[in-house]
Structure 1
Amino acid sequence: MNDKFRIVLKDRLLPVQVFFNAIPDRSFIETLKAFGNATGAGFNDAFCGFPGEEDFDEEPLNGIEFAVKGEEVIIGYDEFFSILEEVCNVYSEKHPNETELVQGLLFDVKEKLNSL
């Protein structure tokens, strides 16, 4: 895999790919912690949002929203978690000393998704 990108996804998931590839390594653990609290994040022009973070005049989210430069996609929890697992595996390969922490945070995210 190209070291420049964590993941490469299908065209329809471009905002998801851009978001995950935009997370700086120094912010990865904090982003996982936020996901465990059903809180999204933004890096550069890429954004990820969870249900409950919508503005009062927006429709409630039925999944996880990703947006980049006007292009948006909402994916289901299972698809989100599958992609997140892949991203965590790539991160852990580069940072093996943080693998246990990443796996624990990934578990927290799964628990939170199950409660949404």
Structure 2
Amino acid sequence: MGKDEASNRSEIPPGTLYMLILKSLAHLGPMHGYGIAQHIQQTSQDVLQVEEGSLYPALQRMLIKGWVVAEWGQSEKNRRARYYHLTPAGKKQLSAEISEFEKVMRAITRVIQPA
């Protein structure tokens, strides 16, 4: 990746990674970690990039919280991959995450807009 490509990417805002993962699973159904990361990057037009060091620990925490379940399967490239599925608790959490995000974005917008 060149310097110009890297400068087009932004860090994922704190507190939004769960929401992005849950939304990806809600939109596309069961996916493996790499697929989730690719979906977020492509959908954001390469602005957001989820690093493995953030993605897999987040998925593990989401498994523990019961928001997703996982099972082993074969990837498109015939490799063993862990596929994550959204649970009813995950759907409920997604709604809560989106609601909180929208609330924060409205507050930020009020602060940065000229009076």
Range into which the TM-score falls when normalised by the shorter chain: 0.3 to 0.5
Q: State the structure with more CA Rg.
A: 2
Q: TM-score, normalised by structure 1?
A: 0.32
Q: TM-score, normalised by structure 2?
A: 0.32
Relative to its length, the structure with more helix (as a share) is: 2
